[in-house]
Amino acid sequence: MSMDVQELRHISTHIIDGDINPDMGIVECPGDLLVQGDVQDESLILAEGDVEICGYIGSAGIRAHRSIIVHRGVAAQGYLDAGGDIRVQFANNSQLVAGGNIQITISAMHCFLSSEGYIEVQGDEGFLVGGTTAAACGIRATRVGSIHRTPTILRVGISPLLRNELTRLRDEIEELSQQLDATKKDADYLQNAGNRSAYAERLPLYQMRVSYLERELEKRYKRYRITQRSLDKSDVAGDIQVTGLVYPGVVLNIGWDEHQIEQALENVRFFMNGKGIQWTRSTSSDDMVSHSSGS
Protein backbone atom coordinates (compact mmCIF):
# COMPACT_ATOMS: atom_id res chain seq x y z
CA MET A 1 0.00 0.00 0.00
CA SER A 2 1.55 3.32 -1.07
CA MET A 3 1.16 6.76 0.51
CA ASP A 4 1.20 10.10 -1.27
CA VAL A 5 3.45 12.97 -0.26
CA GLN A 6 0.75 14.78 1.74
CA GLU A 7 0.02 11.67 3.82
CA LEU A 8 3.71 11.17 4.55
CA ARG A 9 4.11 14.84 5.52
CA HIS A 10 1.07 14.58 7.83
CA ILE A 11 2.69 11.66 9.62
CA SER A 12 5.97 13.59 10.00
CA THR A 13 4.21 16.71 11.36
CA HIS A 14 4.93 17.48 15.00
CA ILE A 15 1.98 19.16 16.73
CA ILE A 16 2.27 21.42 19.77
CA ASP A 17 -1.12 21.82 21.46
CA GLY A 18 -0.67 25.27 22.92
CA ASP A 19 1.88 28.08 23.02
CA ILE A 20 5.64 28.01 22.56
CA ASN A 21 7.51 29.92 25.27
CA PRO A 22 11.21 30.60 25.94
CA ASP A 23 11.29 28.09 28.83
CA MET A 24 11.03 25.35 26.21
CA GLY A 25 14.46 26.30 24.85
CA ILE A 26 15.17 26.03 21.12
CA VAL A 27 12.34 24.07 19.52
CA GLU A 28 13.89 21.93 16.78
CA CYS A 29 11.80 19.84 14.41
CA PRO A 30 13.15 17.40 11.76
CA GLY A 31 9.92 17.65 9.74
CA ASP A 32 6.87 19.94 9.69
CA LEU A 33 5.68 21.77 12.80
CA LEU A 34 2.14 22.84 13.72
CA VAL A 35 1.72 25.16 16.71
CA GLN A 36 -1.91 25.47 17.79
CA GLY A 37 -1.25 28.53 19.95
CA ASP A 38 1.07 31.55 19.96
CA VAL A 39 4.86 31.87 19.79
CA GLN A 40 5.80 34.01 22.77
CA ASP A 41 8.62 36.57 23.06
CA GLU A 42 12.20 35.26 23.02
CA SER A 43 11.19 31.85 21.67
CA LEU A 44 13.10 30.19 18.83
CA ILE A 45 11.96 27.56 16.30
CA LEU A 46 14.14 25.67 13.82
CA ALA A 47 12.36 23.31 11.42
CA GLU A 48 13.48 21.19 8.48
CA GLY A 49 10.01 21.36 6.88
CA ASP A 50 7.05 23.76 7.03
CA VAL A 51 6.00 25.74 10.11
CA GLU A 52 2.36 26.65 10.72
CA ILE A 53 1.34 28.92 13.61
CA CYS A 54 -2.36 29.17 14.45
CA GLY A 55 -1.95 32.22 16.70
CA TYR A 56 0.38 35.21 16.96
CA ILE A 57 4.16 35.59 16.98
CA GLY A 58 5.81 37.96 19.42
CA SER A 59 9.46 39.01 19.50
CA ALA A 60 10.54 35.51 18.46
CA GLY A 61 12.52 33.80 15.71
CA ILE A 62 11.40 31.11 13.27
CA ARG A 63 13.57 29.48 10.62
CA ALA A 64 12.08 26.89 8.26
CA HIS A 65 13.65 25.10 5.30
CA ARG A 66 10.28 25.24 3.54
CA SER A 67 7.38 27.64 4.18
CA ILE A 68 6.01 29.55 7.17
CA ILE A 69 2.29 30.19 7.64
CA VAL A 70 1.01 32.43 10.46
CA HIS A 71 -2.78 32.53 10.77
CA ARG A 72 -2.65 35.73 12.81
CA GLY A 73 0.37 38.00 12.62
CA VAL A 74 3.82 39.03 13.82
CA ALA A 75 3.17 41.48 16.64
CA ALA A 76 6.59 43.14 16.99
CA GLN A 77 10.29 42.52 16.42
CA GLY A 78 9.81 39.04 15.09
CA TYR A 79 12.18 37.30 12.69
CA LEU A 80 10.90 34.84 10.06
CA ASP A 81 13.29 33.11 7.65
CA ALA A 82 11.85 30.62 5.16
CA GLY A 83 13.38 28.74 2.26
CA GLY A 84 9.94 28.81 0.63
CA ASP A 85 6.95 31.15 1.03
CA ILE A 86 5.82 33.21 4.02
CA ARG A 87 2.13 33.97 4.65
CA VAL A 88 0.90 36.16 7.52
CA GLN A 89 -2.00 38.50 8.22
CA PHE A 90 0.17 41.37 9.45
CA ALA A 91 3.69 42.22 10.58
CA ASN A 92 4.93 45.10 12.75
CA ASN A 93 8.59 46.16 13.18
CA SER A 94 9.73 42.71 12.08
CA GLN A 95 11.98 40.99 9.56
CA LEU A 96 10.58 38.51 7.03
CA VAL A 97 13.03 36.81 4.64
CA ALA A 98 11.77 34.30 2.06
CA GLY A 99 13.37 32.26 -0.69
CA GLY A 100 9.91 32.23 -2.30
CA ASN A 101 7.04 34.73 -2.06
CA ILE A 102 5.72 36.78 0.86
CA GLN A 103 1.97 37.25 1.21
CA ILE A 104 0.51 39.66 3.80
CA THR A 105 -3.26 40.17 3.88
CA ILE A 106 -3.65 43.20 6.16
CA SER A 107 -0.54 45.32 6.74
CA ALA A 108 3.23 45.54 7.09
CA MET A 109 4.33 48.42 9.30
CA HIS A 110 8.01 49.44 9.55
CA CYS A 111 9.29 46.02 8.49
CA PHE A 112 12.19 44.64 6.54
CA LEU A 113 10.74 42.31 3.90
CA SER A 114 12.98 40.35 1.51
CA SER A 115 11.78 37.92 -1.15
CA GLU A 116 13.40 36.13 -4.07
CA GLY A 117 9.95 36.08 -5.70
CA TYR A 118 6.97 38.43 -5.20
CA ILE A 119 5.76 40.37 -2.17
CA GLU A 120 2.02 40.98 -1.85
CA VAL A 121 0.45 43.23 0.77
CA GLN A 122 -3.08 43.14 -0.52
CA GLY A 123 -6.61 42.89 0.78
CA ASP A 124 -9.28 45.34 1.85
CA GLU A 125 -6.61 47.28 3.74
CA GLY A 126 -3.23 46.15 2.37
CA PHE A 127 -1.11 48.84 4.06
CA LEU A 128 2.63 48.86 3.38
CA VAL A 129 4.11 51.63 5.52
CA GLY A 130 7.73 52.33 6.51
CA GLY A 131 10.78 50.11 6.39
CA THR A 132 12.29 48.41 3.35
CA THR A 133 10.51 45.97 1.04
CA ALA A 134 12.73 44.17 -1.48
CA ALA A 135 11.53 41.55 -3.99
CA ALA A 136 13.34 40.14 -7.00
CA CYS A 137 10.23 39.84 -9.20
CA GLY A 138 7.72 42.42 -8.03
CA ILE A 139 5.66 44.09 -5.31
CA ARG A 140 1.87 44.25 -5.13
CA ALA A 141 0.13 46.43 -2.53
CA THR A 142 -3.15 48.21 -1.90
CA ARG A 143 -1.63 51.30 -0.25
CA VAL A 144 2.01 52.34 0.19
CA GLY A 145 3.36 55.01 2.56
CA SER A 146 1.24 57.46 4.53
CA ILE A 147 -0.01 61.05 4.54
CA HIS A 148 2.80 61.77 7.05
CA ARG A 149 5.44 61.08 4.35
CA THR A 150 6.71 58.07 6.28
CA PRO A 151 10.00 56.97 4.66
CA THR A 152 9.17 53.76 2.79
CA ILE A 153 11.59 52.01 0.42
CA LEU A 154 10.47 49.57 -2.30
CA ARG A 155 13.07 47.61 -4.32
CA VAL A 156 12.49 45.22 -7.22
CA GLY A 157 14.31 43.83 -10.24
CA ILE A 158 17.37 42.55 -8.39
CA SER A 159 17.66 39.53 -6.13
CA PRO A 160 17.83 40.91 -2.57
CA LEU A 161 20.48 38.30 -1.77
CA LEU A 162 22.68 39.46 -4.65
CA ARG A 163 22.05 43.13 -3.87
CA ASN A 164 23.01 42.63 -0.22
CA GLU A 165 26.08 40.62 -1.20
CA LEU A 166 27.27 43.34 -3.59
CA THR A 167 26.69 46.02 -0.96
CA ARG A 168 28.59 44.00 1.64
CA LEU A 169 31.52 43.39 -0.71
CA ARG A 170 31.66 47.08 -1.71
CA ASP A 171 31.82 48.06 1.97
CA GLU A 172 34.56 45.51 2.64
CA ILE A 173 36.55 46.64 -0.40
CA GLU A 174 36.33 50.26 0.75
CA GLU A 175 37.41 49.36 4.29
CA LEU A 176 40.31 47.16 3.13
CA SER A 177 41.47 49.83 0.65
CA GLN A 178 41.61 52.42 3.43
CA GLN A 179 43.55 50.05 5.68
CA LEU A 180 45.96 49.22 2.84
CA ASP A 181 46.64 52.87 2.03
CA ALA A 182 47.32 53.70 5.68
CA THR A 183 49.61 50.68 6.16
CA LYS A 184 51.57 51.47 2.98
CA LYS A 185 52.16 55.03 4.18
CA ASP A 186 53.47 53.76 7.52
CA ALA A 187 55.70 51.19 5.80
CA ASP A 188 57.08 53.83 3.38
CA TYR A 189 57.82 56.17 6.27
CA LEU A 190 59.75 53.48 8.18
CA GLN A 191 61.67 52.45 5.07
CA ASN A 192 62.69 56.03 4.27
CA ALA A 193 63.62 56.75 7.89
CA GLY A 194 65.88 53.71 8.08
CA ASN A 195 67.73 53.21 11.36
CA ARG A 196 66.90 56.77 12.41
CA SER A 197 63.42 55.62 13.46
CA ALA A 198 62.92 54.02 16.86
CA TYR A 199 60.40 51.72 15.18
CA ALA A 200 62.63 50.54 12.32
CA GLU A 201 62.46 46.94 13.53
CA ARG A 202 58.70 46.98 12.86
CA LEU A 203 59.15 47.50 9.11
CA PRO A 204 58.92 43.73 8.26
CA LEU A 205 55.63 43.55 10.19
CA TYR A 206 54.18 46.44 8.18
CA GLN A 207 55.35 44.85 4.93
CA MET A 208 53.70 41.56 5.90
CA ARG A 209 50.52 43.49 6.72
CA VAL A 210 50.60 45.15 3.28
CA SER A 211 50.91 41.75 1.57
CA TYR A 212 48.04 40.34 3.64
CA LEU A 213 45.72 43.27 2.87
CA GLU A 214 46.55 43.09 -0.85
CA ARG A 215 45.59 39.39 -0.90
CA GLU A 216 42.35 39.99 1.00
CA LEU A 217 41.45 42.91 -1.26
CA GLU A 218 41.98 40.80 -4.38
CA LYS A 219 39.74 38.08 -2.90
CA ARG A 220 36.93 40.62 -2.37
CA TYR A 221 37.33 42.02 -5.89
CA LYS A 222 37.13 38.48 -7.30
CA ARG A 223 33.95 37.72 -5.34
CA TYR A 224 32.50 41.05 -6.39
CA ARG A 225 33.13 40.30 -10.09
CA ILE A 226 31.57 36.82 -9.77
CA THR A 227 28.50 38.22 -8.00
CA GLN A 228 28.16 41.00 -10.57
CA ARG A 229 28.29 38.44 -13.41
CA SER A 230 25.56 36.41 -11.70
CA LEU A 231 23.48 39.56 -11.46
CA ASP A 232 24.07 40.44 -15.12
CA LYS A 233 22.89 36.96 -16.16
CA SER A 234 19.62 37.25 -14.23
CA ASP A 235 16.76 38.40 -16.45
CA VAL A 236 14.31 39.73 -13.85
CA ALA A 237 12.59 42.94 -14.90
CA GLY A 238 10.47 43.51 -11.79
CA ASP A 239 7.60 45.95 -11.35
CA ILE A 240 5.56 47.60 -8.57
CA GLN A 241 1.76 47.73 -8.66
CA VAL A 242 -0.33 49.75 -6.21
CA THR A 243 -4.10 49.52 -6.58
CA GLY A 244 -4.82 52.31 -4.09
CA LEU A 245 -2.70 55.30 -3.10
CA VAL A 246 1.08 55.62 -3.03
CA TYR A 247 2.10 58.63 -0.94
CA PRO A 248 4.98 61.12 -1.06
CA GLY A 249 7.95 59.92 0.94
CA VAL A 250 8.04 56.57 -0.85
CA VAL A 251 11.31 55.75 -2.64
CA LEU A 252 11.31 53.26 -5.51
CA ASN A 253 14.32 51.26 -6.71
CA ILE A 254 13.89 49.24 -9.91
CA GLY A 255 17.18 47.64 -10.78
CA TRP A 256 19.76 50.28 -9.84
CA ASP A 257 17.52 53.22 -10.79
CA GLU A 258 15.80 55.27 -8.09
CA HIS A 259 12.72 57.49 -8.04
CA GLN A 260 11.09 59.35 -5.15
CA ILE A 261 7.34 59.93 -5.07
CA GLU A 262 6.64 63.68 -4.80
CA GLN A 263 2.85 63.63 -5.15
CA ALA A 264 0.20 61.08 -4.26
CA LEU A 265 -0.71 58.68 -7.07
CA GLU A 266 -3.51 56.15 -7.30
CA ASN A 267 -3.84 52.83 -9.13
CA VAL A 268 -0.37 52.85 -10.68
CA ARG A 269 2.23 50.43 -11.99
CA PHE A 270 5.94 51.30 -11.96
CA PHE A 271 8.34 49.56 -14.33
CA MET A 272 11.62 49.99 -16.18
CA ASN A 273 12.30 50.65 -19.84
CA GLY A 274 15.08 52.27 -21.83
CA LYS A 275 14.17 55.69 -20.41
CA GLY A 276 14.41 54.65 -16.76
CA ILE A 277 11.58 54.20 -14.28
CA GLN A 278 8.18 54.73 -15.90
CA TRP A 279 4.65 54.46 -14.57
CA THR A 280 1.16 53.95 -15.91
CA ARG A 281 -2.12 54.97 -14.31
CA SER A 282 -5.53 53.65 -15.19
CA THR A 283 -7.98 56.46 -15.99
CA SER A 284 -10.73 54.03 -16.98
CA SER A 285 -11.15 50.30 -17.35
CA ASP A 286 -9.41 50.25 -20.72
CA ASP A 287 -7.38 53.47 -20.89
CA MET A 288 -3.77 53.37 -19.67
CA VAL A 289 -1.59 56.47 -19.79
CA SER A 290 2.22 56.17 -19.59
CA HIS A 291 4.44 58.64 -17.73
CA SER A 292 8.16 58.95 -17.06
CA SER A 293 9.41 59.08 -13.49
CA GLY A 294 10.13 62.77 -13.94
CA SER A 295 6.53 63.59 -14.83
- Verify that 220 and 242 share a domain, yes or no: no
In the prediction, which pLDDT does 291 show? Answer: 54
Q: Among positive and negative, which fits the CA dihedral 260, 265, 270, 275?
A: negative
> What is the distance, to the nearest Å, from the Cα of residue 126 to the centroid of all Cα atoms in its chain?
19
Domain with 135, as residue range(s), is 5-159+236-292
Of 197, 213, 233, the residue that ends a domain is 233
Asked whether residue 247 falls in the same domain as residue 172, the answer is no
**Domain final residue, candidates 214, 233, 252:** 233
Same domain (yes/no): 151, 262 = yes
Q: Domain tally for the chain?
A: 2
Question: Helix/strand/coil (H, E, C) string of 71-135?
Answer: CCEECCCCEEEECCCEEEEEEECCEEEECCCEEEEEEEEEEEEEECCEEEECCCCCEEEEEEEEE
Q: Which of 182, 200, 233 delimits the end of a domain?
A: 233
Is there a single domain that holds both residue 150 and residue 174?
no
The tens place of each residue's pLDDT in the chain, 295 residues long, gives 333 444 434 447 899 999 999 999 999 999 999 999 999 999 999 999 999 999 999 999 999 999 999 999 999 899 999 999 999 999 999 999 999 999 999 999 999 999 999 999 987 778 999 999 999 999 999 999 999 999 999 999 888 888 888 889 999 999 999 999 999 998 888 888 766 666 678 888 989 999 999 999 999 999 999 888 877 766 557 899 999 999 999 999 998 889 999 999 999 999 988 778 889 985 543 334 455 555 4
What's the longest Cα–Cα distance across the chain? 89
Same domain for 105 and 184?
Answer: no
223 and 241 in one domain?
A: no
Pair (127, 18) in one structural domain: yes
Query: Looking at the structure, do residues 19 and 164 belong to the same domain, yes or no?
Result: no
Q: Are residues 150 and 258 in the same domain?
A: yes
The C-alpha atoms of residue 197 and residue 52 are separated, in whole angstroms, by 68
- Same domain? 59 vs 136: yes
Residues 203 and 240 reside in one and the same domain: no
Q: Are residues 65 and 120 in the same domain?
A: yes
Mean pLDDT of the chain: 88
